[in-house]
Amino acid sequence: MKALICGVGGQDGAYLAQLLLAKGYEVWGTSRDAQVASFGNLQRLGLRGQVTTRSMAPKDFRSVVSVLMDCQPDEVYFLSAQSSVGLSFEQPAETLESITIGTLNLMEAVRLLRRPCRTYHASSSECFGHVGRVPAHEDTPFAPRSPYAVAKASAHWLVQNYREAYGLYVCNGILFNHESPLRPARFVTRKIVAAAARIAQGSPERLSLGRLDIVRDWGWAPEYVQAMWLMLQRDTPRDYVIATGEAHSLEQFVVAAFAGVGLDSRQHVDSDPSLFRPTDIAWSQGDASRAAAELGWRATCHMPEVVTRMLAAEMAAVAAS
């Protein structure tokens, strides 16, 4: 089996490469410019030399077709495009183009390839918007509240359309928040544990965050890439919500991180209104019952353990520096 991971350098791409290599796959991966990309996450996992890398610009149709024809994959995992909700408010046009046009180009390229190929598309829990305290499932209506979520919703429907119109084996993974030590520093979870680790080592800084009352469903990224693979092993394609089913506030995440290094977060963390987003989701929680019933997938690592694992990695990195 040969797999192509578009966006192999990211958190999910690197963990997915690790999973597929362990299963005996030949793994190819793309970056916008593979010749200059560091692929730091692959290096961190000790996988850099085991993945064939190629340059691919999702917004350039010729680039997408060229890589698919070169690779001739059995499975494609589309994890590329802009991945930050916060950044999407600053770069809405780039966000919409990279996500929607990139997805459209991939769907068209797969269709024109005329070769049996199963494709996974990274949809997002952000598409649901604010649903109150009711966990979202696959039939929950979308109500996006950011340029990122609008783009992801459009891409999600494109995938469904190509599946219905052309009979492609394509599916959406509607993943809720999933974290790991490979998260980029700009993401709030990594920002929190990194600050806690530095302060525990004597840094005098204070951590400024936006709203602390937002509620999220946080899981462990290496478990979530297993769900991606499982989706492509079914006889027929279908969309799945992937989540822990548990909801915790950002303040609870902060308290857990600082308590993990013996500190009281109230003495080191501020909520800064200038960091609030124009719109934000107050409560986000998922219902992964379909994945449990049809894929046999269930989250085993929940928020407290996610914090513990991320913090351990961060403390080790601080100590080594």
How many CB atoms lie under 10 A from the CB of residue 264? 10
148 flagged as catalytic: yes
Among residues 15, 25, 148, 224, which one is catalytic?
Answer: 148
Nearest by Cα to 159 from 116, 119, 218, 214 = 119
Contacts of 2 (CB under 8 A, 6+ apart): 25, 26, 27, 28, 71, 72, 73, 74, 75
Phi, psi at residue 237, to the nearest 5°? -75, 145
- Rounded distance, CA 225 to CA 238, Å? 16
Among residues 98, 123, 124, 180, which one is catalytic?
Answer: 124
Contact 226, 186 (CB under 8 A): no
Contact 34, 53 (CB under 8 A): yes
Phi, psi at residue 117, to the nearest 5°? -155, 130
Contacts of 272 (CB under 8 A, 6+ apart): 208, 209, 210
Contact 170, 163 (CB under 8 A): yes
Contact 271, 212 (CB under 8 A): yes
Among residues 75, 77, 88, 126, which one is catalytic?
Answer: 126
- Rounded distance, CA 312 to CA 180, Å? 11
126 flagged as catalytic: yes
124 flagged as catalytic: yes
Contact 182, 44 (CB under 8 A): yes
Contact 223, 15 (CB under 8 A): no
- Sequence letter at residue 51: V
Catalytic positions are 124, 126, 148
